[in-house]
Structure formats: C-alpha cells, structure tokens
Amino acid sequence: MKKYFRIGLDVDDILFSCNEYAVELANREYGFEPPMTIEEIQSWGKTGRRTDVLLDYYQKESFVKNQPLLPGARQFVEELSRRAEVFFVSAIPPKLMGIREEQLSEAFPMVPGKNMILGFRKELVNMDILLDDGGHNISSSSSAYPVLMRKPWNRHMTGCISVNNYDEFLTFLDILMNPMAYQCEGGTENKVLALIGPSGSGKTELMGELMKTCGAVRAKSYTTRERKGGEEEDAYHFVTPEEFFRLEQEGAFFETTRYAQNCYGSMIKDIDDVLAGGNHAVMAVDICGGIALKRAYKKRAALIFAERPKEELISSVLDRRCPREEKIKRLVSLDTELRNEEFCDFTVRNSEDLRKLMTKI
C-alpha cells in the first residue's frame, strides 16, 4: 500500500538520549555540586551558565557513538513505518554524519538510508509532519504540521501542537489519517465540550453561556499561573508550581500543557464525574488538551473553535490584567493558534452560533 504521509523525526532527544546523557557525563567529569539537572537547560547555544560545558559533548565522536537509545524508540519507529514514510531529520556536524548514519541504520533497519536528511538547515525540510524537541526548529519549520516533543528546554513554546510522549504523537497521527473516527456527531449522549482558541477569543465567555443555557458543568482544571485581575476565584484550581509538579509526578493528570510559561493540567475523574452526573462537561483547553480529549473520548469529545477577528484578539490581550511578559507570549502565539481551527469539529463566532450548534449535538 502506498504510504501518503511523510514524517520527519528529529533524532537527538527524540530517538537517542542527548541532553540527559550529556548531563550525566558532565556530572561525572566535572563533579558539579549540586549535580547538574536537565531542568537547568533552558535554551539552545551558549548562555554563560554551567550548562555551556554540554555543548562540547555534542561535537565529540565518542558521544554520538554511545548515545543511548531511548526506551520504546524502536517500537515507535516500527509503528510509524507501518503507517507512513519515515525520515530522520538530524542536525549533526558534517564530520559526524557518517557515525550518525551508522547509528541510525543499526537501530532502525526498517528505515532506508536514503531517508536520512542530515544537516543544520532543518527549516528547508518540508515534511507532512515533523517531530522535534527544538523550539527554534518548530517555529521555523516549513513542514505542514510541526509537532513539538515537550522537554524542559522548550517550556517557553506556546500554542503549538505538542506531545509529551510517543503515544500522544501516534494519536495525533491517527486523528490526521482517520479524521472520521474522531468527528463529533449528534446523539443523545452527553459530550465533553472543549473550547479552543487563542487568548481573548471568548472561550471563558462561551463556557459561561454553555453552563447557563445547556446545563453544562465545568470540569475545572489546574494551573500554576497567577489569578488575573478580575478573574473569578474558582476559575481554576490555582496551585503552586511545587504542588503542580507533585501532582504531575503522581500521575494525577491525564493531560498537561505549558502556555505562556505556566503549567495547566486536567484530571479525567473531574470530567467523568460530570458525565456520570448526566451533564455535558465543558472546559477550555489548548490544542494539546484537545488532542488528549480526542484520545480519551473520541467522537464524544466536541472540539469547538472560538473565532474572533484578529484585531479584537490583540486588543483583548492588551487589555488583559496580567504581566507584560505574559501578554507578549500570548500575542506571539496568536497565528499558530489560529491554525488549530482545522483540528476542531466546529467553529463558533458568538453565543448565537453556540446555541445553534448545541441543538445539533
């Protein structure tokens, strides 16, 4: 069967451990006290911090030769190869390209050598989907769907399609390849109504409307962000970053995301309790939350895109009572988020549209 999708996979920290392995070697070589952790890696290139020593490892032959294969990487590539044509897209210095080629052929014999694209100009690579952990590679990608693999060093990335692991990526691929299996339709069953859209698009307003007019009940999520001026006290469970990370470590969340440098997460029990109580569950999520909801609830999840003219979105963010830095991040991600409409089941412009939609579903 012809495989229609071309998927480009970054290699470092997608298939082989890179930053984590370098941190391990650096701690051994330099005896850092306290030991260096991957949480300290906050961006690419030299930063004037102790993590700069890591950059030397990436140039070493012995480093590339010994990078450990990440758990599940082989099965992931095998699975992808069954569904699509897989390419490796790896930024590697020219002198190390031969070693990378050997490393990839040995670990992934199912991918032909001609599908290795090695070099630093990733922005020229035009795949259907690119999976990469480098925020700069995602922002500059010419691929149709750049997907970010969430790692500590790309937490600043906002509004883009991102996944936390191989399973989430496979779900995203499935949604693209079999959209009809996920398309929300009418029926009597209560739904999970997920409002999606850029900052200021009216998600909170529409959520209030759904609660008032359709008896929908909000599944409240968790966030580490500060309550914004004028926001209701129970808009979220407002928690400290420490509390959020504790819950995350305990596996309490069924999905989490990062937005404008803050953490957000929701719990499946909160949604299921609303459904079990005989109501529609409603929540506002970013596109990553939308994908996670489709993974869990398939057709029962209605992704509703809140559309609003761009000028109004900008004006709404400028008026938001929150730190200036946060406003900038929200504005920068507007265009990326507008593109996410294509993954939603429905688009609404106002409460009138929403009321009409609710009579259909």
Ligand X SMILES: Nc1ncnc2c1ncn2[C@@H]1O[C@H](COP(=O)(O)OP(=O)(O)OP(=O)(O)O)[C@@H](O)[C@H]1O
Ligand Y SMILES: Nc1nc2c(ncn2[C@@H]2O[C@H](COP(=O)(O)O)[C@@H](O)[C@H]2O)c(=O)[nH]1
Query: Judged by CB under 6 A, which of 108, 166, 264, 343 binds ligand Y?
Result: 264
Q: What are all long-range contacts of 166-173, with beta carbons under 8 Å and residues at least 24 apart?
A: 166/72, 166/73, 166/76, 168/291, 168/292, 168/295, 169/76, 169/131, 170/76, 170/79, 170/80, 171/291, 171/294, 171/295, 172/147, 172/291, 173/5, 173/7, 173/80, 173/83, 173/84, 173/129
Residue of minimal CB distance from ligand Y?
289
Q: In whole angstroms, how close is the CB of 75 to ligand X at the nearest point? A: 37
Residue 335 among the catalytic residues: no
Using the minimum distance from each CB to ligand X, give the nearer residue, 191 or 308.
Answer: 308
Question: For residues 88 and 9, is the Cβ–Cβ distance under 8 A?
Answer: yes
Applying the rule CB under 6 A, the residues between 260 and 289 that interact with ligand X are: 284
Residue 10 among the catalytic residues: yes
* Strand (E) or helix (H) holding 259: strand 255-259
Cα angle 120, 107, 55 (rounded to 5 degrees) comes to 40
Query: Judged by CB under 6 A, which of 8, 202, 289, 290 binds ligand X?
Result: 202
Using the minimum distance from each CB to ligand X, give the nearer residue, 196 or 271.
Answer: 196
How far apart are the C-alpha atoms of 153 and 169, rounded to whole Å? 19
Query: Judged by CB under 6 A, which of 199, 224, 333, 340 binds ligand Y?
Result: 199
Asked if residue 327 binds ligand Y (CB under 6 A), the reply is no
Query: Judged by CB under 6 A, which of 200, 265, 289, 290 binds ligand X?
Result: 200
Asked if residue 193 binds ligand Y (CB under 6 A), the reply is no
Q: In whole angstroms, how close is the CB of 64 to ligand X at the nearest point? A: 42
Is the link from the previous residue into 198 a cis peptide, with omega within 30 of 0? Answer: no
Using the minimum distance from each CB to ligand X, give the nearer residue, 124 or 318.
Answer: 318
Per DSSP, the three-state class of 56 is helix
Q: In whole angstroms, how close is the CB of 238 to ligand X at the nearest point? A: 14
Using the minimum distance from each CB to ligand X, give the nearer residue, 200 or 289.
Answer: 200
Q: Which does 257 bind (CB under 5 to 8 A by kind): ligand Y, ligand X, none?
A: ligand Y
- Annotated catalytic residue, options 12, 132, 133, 286: 12
Q: Which does 265 bind (CB under 5 to 8 A by kind): ligand Y, ligand X, none?
A: ligand Y
Write down the H helix ranges in the chain.
Answer: 19-30, 54-57, 61-66, 73-83, 97-107, 135-139, 166-177, 203-213, 241-249, 268-276, 287-297, 310-319, 324-332, 334-338, 351-360
Asked if residue 280 binds ligand Y (CB under 6 A), the reply is no
Asked if residue 202 binds ligand Y (CB under 6 A), the reply is no
Asked if residue 259 binds ligand Y (CB under 6 A), the reply is yes
Q: In whole angstroms, how close is the CB of 286 to ligand Y at the nearest point? A: 4
Query: Judged by CB under 6 A, which of 103, 162, 190, 201 binds ligand X?
Result: 201
Q: In whole angstroms, how close is the CB of 221 to ligand Y at the nearest point? A: 3
What b/e sequence results for 69-96 when a residue is b if at least 16 CB atoms lie within 10 Å of its CB, and e otherwise?
ebeebeebbebbbeebbbbbbbbbeeeb
Q: Please name every residue paired with 163 in a beta bridge, in sequence order, or none if there are none.
A: 149
Footprint on this chain of ligand X (rule: CB under 6 A): 197, 199-205, 284, 306, 308, 316, 350
Q: List, by residue number, the catalytic residues.
A: 10, 12
